[in-house]
Amino acid sequence: MTETARIVASHGKSYIIECAGGKRLRASTRGKKTDYSCGDLVDIQILNDEQAVIERVLERKTLLYRSDAWKSKLIAANVTQLIIVVASEPSFSTELISRCAIAAEAGGIQTLICLNKCDLPSATAAKERLQYFVNLGYKLIEISALENIAPLRDSLAGHISVLVGQSGMGKSTITNALLPDANARVNEISVALDSGKHTTTNATFYHLDTESALIDSPGLQSFGLAHITAQDLPAYFPELKERIGTCRFHNCRHRQEPACGMRAGVEEGTISPQRLALLHRLQDELSSGSRY
Ligand SMILES: Nc1nc2c(ncn2[C@@H]2O[C@H](COP(=O)(O)OP(=O)(O)OP(=O)(O)O)[C@@H](O)[C@H]2O)c(=O)[nH]1
Ligand SMILES: [Zn+2]
């Protein structure tokens, strides 16, 4: 019997799928196929009361992934919102924020930056660092997951959101505050996936209500963008996008070329030199195929 289900947890070649009625089954794939992601809608063949086989993936509305020259890592499928979690401390990487936001833009996903641990004195400095992104037009929400999760909960309504961030920013604390029984569910899922072995799940999908869901992903340190071409990059920077077509040369790399619209923006003060430098760095990285 074939039916459509959603992948709610992934771990290597093992998956947990949720059928339309809510029943969860362990699922494997045909052959060596592993390019399925948490959040995917898939056609499955039910084998017995506990197991199913994934036959194929249905067309994805969106796909968030990171990649280097050698391999890509799917993070979440069919999400409408990427939540980049940063915290007052430990320190976060602004480059990682930019990279995540570029991947989201390329994948047709909206971005929300969430500053956690606003109860700490170091929040003031963190907010100053994030002002840079606010000026670029990104939405910022400030919370303390330990004290009050309500402001974030409001931003999740109607979305399938995915949480990404470096280790220690508070993703687990946020998930637990939003879903008090998430811990129990996570344990249930990891036990089902690897019979109690100590391994981490790639990503987990939780229902918040009938319209909203949340995918929690493991901490990340880097975010390779090898799937994006150097030529397309400016379209994923909000402030550079506006100036596409203003350079004299259609293949301008926005460096030494005369009459470059992007460099003109830097001279006028509407584009920050750091962002143009990031564009150059990413162009070099994507054309040389270096590893990130
Ligand atoms: N002061 C304060 N501490 C927090 C807050 N949220 C989380 N923490 C603490 O920050 C530490 C890291 O939180 P986690 O939720 O484990 O972070 P994580 O992002 O899931 O980290 P990984 O599991 O490594 O990916 C824990 O000691 C939390 O108690 C907050 O709002 N305020
Ligand atoms: Zn140019």
Which residues are CB-contacts of 260 (< 8 A; sequence separation ≥ 6)?
Answer: 247, 248, 252, 254
Q: Ligand 1: which atom is nearest the Cα of residue 165?
A: 19
Give me the tens of pLDDT residue by residue for the chain, a chain 292 residues long. Answer: 789 999 999 887 889 999 998 899 999 998 877 789 999 999 999 999 999 999 999 999 999 989 877 788 899 999 999 999 999 999 999 999 999 999 999 999 999 999 999 999 999 999 999 999 999 999 999 999 999 999 999 999 999 999 999 999 999 999 999 987 765 555 555 556 555 444 556 789 999 998 999 999 988 888 999 989 999 999 999 999 999 999 999 999 999 999 999 999 999 999 999 999 999 999 999 876 544 4
Question: Measured between alpha carbons, how far is 263 from 32 in angstroms, rounded to an integer?
Answer: 48
Same domain flag for 100 and 73: yes
Long-range contacts from 284-290, C-beta under 8 angstroms, 24+ separation: 285/225, 286/225, 286/226, 286/228, 286/229, 286/230, 286/233, 287/230, 289/69, 289/226, 290/68, 290/69
Greatest Cα pair distance in the chain: 67
How much is the pLDDT for 202?
79
Same domain flag for 197 and 240: no
- Ligand 1 centre from 144 Cα, in Å? 10
**3-state DSSP assignment of residue 124:** helix
Residue 223 domain-assigned (yes or no): no
Residue 80 domain-assigned (yes or no): yes
Report the CATH number that the domain containing residue 42 is assigned in CATH.
2.40.50.140
How much is the pLDDT for 182?
60
- The predicted-structure confidence for 127-181, as pLDDT tens digits, reads as follows 999 999 999 999 999 999 999 999 999 999 999 999 999 999 999 999 999 987 7
Same domain flag for 9 and 145: no
Same domain flag for 86 and 210: yes
Contact criterion met (CB below 8 Å) for 191 and 185 = no
Write phi, then psi, for 72 (nearest 5 degrees).
-110, 155
Residue 79 domain-assigned (yes or no): yes
Contact criterion met (CB below 8 Å) for 9 and 40 = no
Containing structural domain, residue 136 = 63-216
Atom 15 of ligand 1, nearest CA residue: 170
Ligand 1 within 6 A of CB of 220: no
Q: How many domains does the chain have?
A: 3
Same domain flag for 73 and 202: yes
Pocket probe for ligand 1: among 93, 118, 172, 175, the residue whose CB has the most ligand atoms within 8 Å is 172
How much is the pLDDT for 241?
96
How much is the pLDDT for 34?
78
Atom 32 of ligand 1, nearest CA residue: 117
Residue 221 domain-assigned (yes or no): no
Same domain flag for 72 and 91: yes
Pocket probe for ligand 1: among 173, 183, 190, 202, the residue whose CB has the most ligand atoms within 8 Å is 173
